[in-house]
Amino acid sequence: MNKVSVYGKGLTKSYGKTEALKSVSFSVEKGEIFGFIGPDGAGKTTLFRLLTTLLLPDSGAASIEGLDVVKDYRRLRQILGYMPGRFSLYQDLSVEENLRFFAGIFKVSISDNYHLIADIYEQIAPFAKRRAGKLSGGMKQKLALSCALIHKPEVLILDEPTTGVDAVSRREFWEMLIRLKQSGITILVATPYMDEAILCDRVALIQHGTIMATGSPADIIQTYPHKLFRIKSQNTLQLLRIMRQMPELKSAEMFGEYIHIGSSPNKMNESDIAAFLNQNNIRQFDLEPMEAGIEDCFMHLMKQQSST
């Protein structure tokens, strides 16, 4: 068991009548990449603002590297790197001025920790004199990450760093995070993209201010209770409407050109499904059993949450 780096217990926060976080507890081990996976409004940003000492919890407690987020906020801020969801560097300062500014407020020089950011910063160094506001989305993201790292934080907190960026930049960003992890930094990352879960060591699936499940992606997938098949035909919408009428079915959800259908184990097999489709005059289809993914689990947990 590794040492705990970030710890939260019973964290609760409301804005007026809106409960943004409802008693959230979790722990992140030192040196891991921990993902908070959930849609907009799930509570990810509120949680990160509590952890970064920018908001006070209504109740509950949290600590990072043994420092309490309320009592020890000054010392805590020294060891945190934070990249908020919205681009929050100085748009009117150049790339290089922003980096110098952030190094300055943490009283370090850029050369002290340059090795940490070298492979990221080198990609934007040709634009060192350009104003931050004039950078492309991908370059802004790299500059923001460089600025969050320049004081060599022990814990890096990234709020939706990949939202709105294309698949290539997204992939490159994750490659950077995996390299950073090797230097021992603990990384907390929030994302609405379900497919990024598998890039994390462990994840918390979060929705409506509640953590629905925590564990490694493989552990979470293990808990998926249904037997799952995927099926496709010429007309997905028609197939979906028919499948939903099959009484033994637990779920039918579109996944691209396929539909994933779930049943209780031992209740249904491929020939039952084929027979049902034949009765409904669908003869051309591909049907095969499959393993669940994180998105299947997320939807299953959401339905459980809304039925309780």
Partner 1 sequence: MQTSEYAIEAHGLVKKFGNFVANDHLTFDVKKGEIFGFLGANGAGKTTAMKILCGLLLPTSGKIKVAGFDVYTQTNLIKKHIGYMSQKFSLYEDLSIEENFRFYGGIYGLSRKQIAERTSTMLKKLDIEPLRKSLISSLPLGIRQKLAFSVAIIHSPGIVFLDEPTGGVDPITRRQFWEMIYEASEQGITVFVTTHYMDEAEYCNRVSIMVDGRIEALGTPGELKKKFDATDMNQVFLKLARKAG
What is the contact surface with partner 1 in residues (CB under 8 A)?
A: 38-42, 136-138, 163-171, 192-195, 207, 236-237, 240, 253-257, 295, 298-299, 302-303
Tell me how far apart the alpha carbons of residues 98 and 18 are, in angstroms, rounded to a whole number: 36
CB 76 within 8 A of CB 64: yes
CB-wise, 60 or 192, nearer to partner 1?
192
Q: How far is the CB of 190 from partner 1 (least distance, A)?
A: 11
Q: How far is the CB of 265 from partner 1 (least distance, A)?
A: 23
* Residues facing 259 on adjacent strands: 231, 254
Q: How far is the CB of 286 from partner 1 (least distance, A)?
A: 11
Tell me how far apart the alpha carbons of residues 308 and 299 are, in angstroms, rounded to a whole number: 15
* Residues facing 159 on adjacent strands: 190
CB-wise, 178 or 275, nearer to partner 1?
178
CB-wise, 108 or 302, nearer to partner 1?
302
Ramachandran region, residue 107 (left: φ > 0; alpha: ψ -120 to 50; beta: rest): left
171: tokens are: 């992939």
Q: How far is the CB of 238 from partner 1 (least distance, A)?
A: 9
Q: How far is the CB of 110 from partner 1 (least distance, A)?
A: 27
* Residues facing 120 on adjacent strands: none
Exposure class string for 179-189: b at 16+ Cβ within 10 A, else e: ebbeeebbbbb
CB-wise, 13 or 170, nearer to partner 1?
170
CB-wise, 113 or 251, nearer to partner 1?
251
Q: How far is the CB of 30 from partner 1 (least distance, A)?
A: 31
Tell me how far apart the alpha carbons of residues 268 and 109 are, in angstroms, rounded to a whole number: 64
SS3 258: strand
Helix/strand/coil (H/E/C) assignment for every residue in 12-63 = EEEECCEEEEEEEEEEEECCCEEEEECCCCCCHHHHHHHHCCCCCCCEEEEE
Tell me how far apart the alpha carbons of residues 47 and 62 are, in angstroms, rounded to a whole number: 10
Classify burial at 279, counting beta carbons within 10 Å of its beta carbon; exposed 0-12, middle 13-18, buried 19 or more: exposed
CB-wise, 14 or 169, nearer to partner 1?
169
Tell me how far apart the alpha carbons of residues 164 and 89 are, in angstroms, rounded to a whole number: 18
Counting every residue written for the chain, the total comes to 308
CB-wise, 104 or 164, nearer to partner 1?
164
CB-wise, 112 or 295, nearer to partner 1?
295
Q: How far is the CB of 165 from partner 1 (least distance, A)?
A: 6
Q: How far is the CB of 118 from partner 1 (least distance, A)?
A: 20
